[in-house]
């Protein structure tokens, strides 16, 4: 029997504002091809877990520090992914790096949001405010956000969507971060979830 919607898992580490953006668009009917059925956090106290539970979505913690190895950490994630029949994983502020072994098993089944216009200010070590600090230190006039597929190279997978955001005089990393979230991240990520899930459904039909 053909699926009507794809099962989506969102992996988070913090507050879950990008998760909220996805859930909001899902509830408005703008995400029709996928449905968030699982949220996994690598941090016990992540507010994103509360957001998930408030929406009746299964919320699980897989803490890297409680696992003996990267392999165990990823096996626990893999177990949840398989148990819930997940078709697409969305990394939405997920700060744990996934290994090449893991990502290779899910080609074009993992997407990530990065707060810059890749290939600028990306790769290992560029996350959170560090990205915006680097952009401001370089003096760029435009930054933005990128949604891309995840492969073995950090921030190295095929780009799905990008959106540019103006850098304004007097910006601090925190101000720039917020503007990029509001103008780019919260718009791009739900759009990417719908596009990738829609493409997957078309593949199933073929």
What are the residue numbers of the active site? 114
- The 3-state DSSP composition of the chain as helix, strand, coil percent (nearest 5) reads 40, 20, 40
CA–chain centroid gap for 133, Å, is 21
Count CA atoms closer than 13 A to 204's CA, side-chain side: 14
Query: What are the E-state strand segments in the chain?
Result: 6-12, 34-41, 58-61, 88-91, 110-114, 142-149, 159-166
What tokens does 17 get?
């504002």
CA–chain centroid gap for 88, Å, is 10
């Amino acid at each position: 029997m053909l699926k009507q919607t794809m099962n989506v898992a969102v992996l988070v580490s913090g507050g879950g504002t990008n998760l909220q953006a996805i859930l909001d668009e899902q509830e408005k009917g703008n995400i029709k091809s996928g449905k968030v059925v699982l949220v996994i956090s690598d941090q016990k106290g992540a507010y994103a877990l509360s957001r998930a539970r408030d929406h009746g979505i299964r919320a699980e913690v897989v803490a890297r520090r409680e696992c003996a190895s990267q392999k165990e950490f990823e096996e626990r994630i893999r177990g949840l992914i398989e148990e819930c029949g997940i078709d697409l994983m969305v990394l939405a502020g997920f700060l744990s790096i996934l290994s090449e072994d893991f990502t290779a098993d899910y080609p074009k089944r993992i997407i990530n949001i990065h707060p810059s216009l890749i290939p600028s200010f990306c790769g290992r070590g560029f996350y959170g405010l560090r990205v915006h600090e680097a952009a401001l230190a370089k003096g760029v006039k435009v930054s933005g956000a990128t949604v891309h597929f995840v492969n073995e190279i950090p921030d190295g997978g095929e780009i799905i969507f990008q959106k540019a955001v103006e850098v304004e005089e007097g910006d601090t990393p925190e101000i720039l971060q917020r503007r990029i979230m509001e103008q780019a991240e919260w718009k791009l990520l739900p759009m990417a979830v719908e596009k990738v899930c829609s493409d997957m459904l078309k593949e199933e039909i073929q």
